[in-house]
Structure 1
């Protein structure tokens, strides 16, 4: 095998591993639900039936009709991811002395907001903004798995303008657009034969994309005290344009810039809110994300127009189940709590050092305080249990740069969210809200 051929195969492996991690971070279990402080306090139970406040628009655009007048809501959620990846037997022996990842977690603040405006008794407009995908992980630079990941940074932003119509007193429908942007930067080491892993040179992959999808939903209120909601977010097709950086600029010219097609999964959300008595409500939630549509992704060189690698990610669909309880402690204070379980899209067959994720349990608490007739303050806390999961990479695996790597990842996260809701209208200028909940 010639030196040029060997070099081309090595670079193809680097590209495959790097972009494989890209799609993992963007479209794997790091999809983000943190669109609402109020929703987080319920572990997102009943989000599609309006229990997440104005921000329920994210799950179901028909909920925009549930609030009269002109109302805005803002949330800030701090995500404190903690985790460590420890190499085990099965890792190439020359990598083991370089040890574990150290703390891979990086704190991130996720902003989100929503506004609803009632045009007529039946017609309402809304806008929801948030971060549907993204996270930051950063292990030690020269750890045992550096050839599979040194850092991952993903940023996304979505704008969801919606319109809702109250068809009857018991049925509302809504539709909208999902305008989505994301940007990413991924770094890892390049394995060089004969060189100590501590001296492996760095590489990076960058890419970004704008694209548009759509959303639709309905709410049904068969009788007072009961709301059933169902919402749908379409797949968004992203044409990712990217670039590759190497220590030797000449290496980047082997394939030039790259592109990849990625279809995000559809999301189906179902929520039920049921009043137990005038001051207590139970909320149920279910979400299905069609992650299995992300199978084999081709990576194409813009320079040659050829596919330089395939990414057999083979995610499975994810299912999210949640239950939450709200209680009006007083006319001005509502307390809530929730519990959820997610059967996620990542398992041992496709878990990477950039995304050491697995099935999740979420436990949460929260409260809303009505400061005055216009302003309501919200706060929530949640703990995300992921636990220990096995990582396998290398020959015969989805992520392969020609070096065997095996590890145990231990990951969890704490989430703290604060927000507010503000009614811009004078209380006397709007009609009473046909809402099950008070806050």
Structure 2
């Protein structure tokens, strides 16, 4: 069998990861954890319940109804998890069995928000939060090492927001976003050399929203988040290779490639209803256009030729959240919520780079009023992914068959995770 492999093809298995992976955060590769207060209600009310400045990341119009000048800062911690059992079969159908655990590494997700009224009509806000990210690291020598090893992808949004209150009960808002991505991605093709990609990119995006107080007890929110266009440029390095021939595609060295990806737009519809002085209920529906992800095409930075092709065939998704809060006394507000988060990935297109599945969120939270101008949010979430199978071989371009030496990885994922959040809200 003829062995044909290029450095750029090895890189592609790592660079495509930046737009595939997500494990316990949100469907696809998103992160919901931009607020501890909304984490407590399963993110229900995140576009309609203007309880603090962190709502600006979901609905920019809502800052018109945030009380006074306010700062909200905090972080969510996503604890390690993940379980895989299966085997790798080579071109001769020889099987190597193995398992992997806790490859979803503990991730720290910080956020910060500032909101202030300019006058009776206009409000202004600044925000910093992480919309995407992953810390994924399979153990050395695991059965799928040719398809993926370590992934550290960090995306940070900086958002400026303005909101205009047309009436006492209705506002619209606009957010302009500067987004930065940074990643370190590795694999070990054929169990030989260590392949690493490190790169970053910047892009602009925006969101718009509206908030309507239908009555004294009911509020509706609507928000749209634009797509994000990234072109990830990176330095690809092969190291620790046993190959001494400098002309070999597995020889130690460095090359450049790039990948253009589009992160899809999403639409949020949110409702909050105050039942009485103690109980409030909320609901959210979010649609995400994951069907944009039809394929990946990694390009040579020098001649713009296509070096790596991955058919994705992802589908659009829906997420449904239901939540409630209960005012226990003057100091304590209790929260609970549930979210069903549909995945664009199924048994037909799951990869070791995207061990994704439909997930169920069960969340709890509390708000402690420390003083008239300061309160603290605490939240906990248990996220259970549905079990999912995988049968993955090396992907190929339509005109270029895949290299059978990579073999196939077969197995099942059964995973869950715990998330802890805390947030300080201060009114000036």
TM over 0.5: yes
Per-residue deviation at 1:351?
1.5
| Cα distance between partner residues in 1 of 2:261 and 2:252 | 24
What is aligned with 1:427? none
CA contact (8 A) 1:232 1:266 kept: yes
What is aligned with 2:256? 257
What is aligned with 1:412? 416
| Cα distance between partner residues in 2 of 1:306 and 1:88 | 34
Cα distance per residue 1:185-235 (max 9 Å; x no partner): 1111121xxxxx4xx221112221100011100001121111100111100
Give 1:321-340 correspondences, 5 Å limit. Answer: 321-340=320-339
CA contact (8 A) 1:39 1:52 kept: no
What is aligned with 1:165? 164
- Find the partner of 1:21 among 17, 24, 48: 17
> TM-score when scaled to structure 1?
0.88
What is aligned with 2:96? 96
| Cα distance between partner residues in 2 of 1:395 and 1:142 | 18
User: Does residue 148 of structure 1 match 2:155?
Assistant: no
| Cα distance between partner residues in 2 of 1:89 and 1:184 | 27
| Cα distance between partner residues in 1 of 2:361 and 2:163 | 31
Cα distance per residue 1:114-151 (max 9 Å; x no partner): 11101111110011211110111111110111111111
User: Does residue 217 of structure 1 match 2:216?
Assistant: no
What is aligned with 1:388? 387
User: Does residue 275 of structure 1 match 2:279?
Assistant: no
Per-residue deviation at 1:333?
1.1
| Cα distance between partner residues in 1 of 2:420 and 2:102 | 20
Give 1:329-368 correspondences, 5 Å limit. Answer: 329-368=328-367
- For the structure 1 residues 281 and 316, does the alpha-carbon distance in structure 2 shift closer, same or farther, using more than 3 Å as the test? same
Q: Give unpaired runs (5+ residues) of structure 1.
A: 192-196, 425-439
* SS of equivalent residue, structure 1 residue 257: strand
Per-residue deviation at 1:354?
2.5
Per-residue deviation at 1:51?
5.1
386-395 or 34-43, which deviates more:
386-395
CA contact (8 A) 2:81 2:101 kept: no
Per-residue deviation at 1:335?
0.4
What is aligned with 2:368? 369
377-386 or 286-295, which deviates more:
286-295
What is aligned with 2:115? 116
> TM-score when scaled to structure 2?
0.90
| Cα distance between partner residues in 2 of 1:351 and 1:23 | 13
CA contact (8 A) 2:310 2:395 kept: no
Per-residue deviation at 1:88?
4.2
CA contact (8 A) 1:127 1:160 kept: yes
100-109 or 407-416, which deviates more:
100-109
CA contact (8 A) 1:50 1:66 kept: no
What is aligned with 2:232? 240
| Count of aligned pairs | 412
- Find the partner of 2:200 among 196, 208, 213: 208
- For the structure 1 residues 106 and 401, does the alpha-carbon distance in structure 2 shift closer, same or farther, using more than 3 Å as the test? farther
CA contact (8 A) 2:288 2:318 kept: yes
- For the structure 1 residues 417 and 400, does the alpha-carbon distance in structure 2 shift closer, same or farther, using more than 3 Å as the test? farther
- For the structure 1 residues 337 and 60, does the alpha-carbon distance in structure 2 shift closer, same or farther, using more than 3 Å as the test? same
Cα distance per residue 1:159-202 (max 9 Å; x no partner): 111000100122100001111111111111121xxxxx4xx221
More strand as a share of residues: 2
27-36 or 41-50, which deviates more:
27-36
Per-residue deviation at 1:255?
9.3
CA contact (8 A) 2:290 2:344 kept: yes
More helix as a share of residues: 1
Across the aligned residues of Structure 1 and Structure 2, the Cα RMSD in angstroms comes to 2.4
Per-residue deviation at 1:95?
5.1
CA contact (8 A) 2:238 2:254 kept: no
Per-residue deviation at 1:304?
2.4
Per-residue deviation at 1:10?
5.0
388-397 or 286-295, which deviates more:
388-397
